[in-house]
């Protein structure tokens, strides 16, 4: 059978069992999605008094309004060196990146693929720390306005200090942290 636009087989489905709410009032089987979703009360930024969510929301609003597609590249900080990382942030912004994910190198990146593992190994040979990565972002931020998300395992962030990270990330122009 031909594949649909999404590349999935048209009959490939994951369905919940037909118990309880798996049937409509007429007894017809209704497929239930097994995808992950939030449970309980819906939390939004407005509930916490946050209305302006900054550059990330603005970038995606512009995409939605134009009907365009996003470009979200990932680079590892310090690969091949921090000066090149700064230049790459600027070049990616000029190339039209919607958001840039900036990976913090980690000594044991087992959840990452081989490309990111090797990039982390090369970057760690330079012996810089998270404060140096944030300094690179701070310098690049003077030249670009593209949202930058820090992408890291929790260990380096915890070692740096969560409160200190929040303060330094805001000062340097980080728009979000993905752990």
Beta-strand runs (E) in the chain: 74-76, 100-103, 148-151, 176-178
Q: Which of 101, 121, 132, 138 is catalytic?
A: 101
Q: Which of 84, 69, 80 is nearest to 140 (CA)?
A: 84
Tokens read off for 116: 């990111």
Q: Which of 79, 86, 112, 175 is catalytic?
A: 112
Residue 87 known to be catalytic: no
Q: Which of 73, 120, 119, 79 is nearest to 100 (CA)?
A: 73
Residue 5 known to be catalytic: no
Task: Say if residue 175 is exposed, middle or buried (CB neighbours under 10 Å; 0-12, 13-18, 19+).
Answer: buried
For residues 176 and 56, the answer to whether their CB atoms sit within 8 Å is yes
Active site residues: 101, 112
């Amino acid at each position: 059978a031909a594949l649909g636009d999404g590349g999935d087989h048209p009959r490939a489905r994951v369905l919940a069992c037909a118990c309880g709410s798996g049937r409509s009032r007429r007894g017809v089987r209704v497929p239930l999605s097994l995808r992950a979703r939030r449970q309980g009360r819906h939390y939004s930024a407005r509930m916490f008094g946050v209305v302006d969510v900054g550059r990330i929301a603005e970038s995606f609003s512009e995409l939605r309004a134009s009907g365009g597609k996003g470009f979200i590249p990932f680079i590892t900080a310090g690969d091949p060196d921090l000066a090149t990382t700064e230049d790459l942030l600027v070049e990616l912004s000029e190339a039209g990146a919607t958001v840039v994910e900036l990976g913090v190198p980690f000594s044991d990146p087992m959840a990452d693929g081989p490309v990111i593992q090797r990039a982390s190994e090369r970057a760690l040979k330079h012996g810089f720390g998270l404060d140096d990565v944030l300094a690179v972002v701070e310098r690049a931020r003077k030249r670009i306005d593209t949202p930058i998300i820090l992408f890291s395992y929790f260990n380096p962030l915890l070692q740096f200090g969560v409160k200190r990270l929040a303060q330094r990330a805001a000062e340097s122009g980080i728009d979000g942290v993905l752990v």
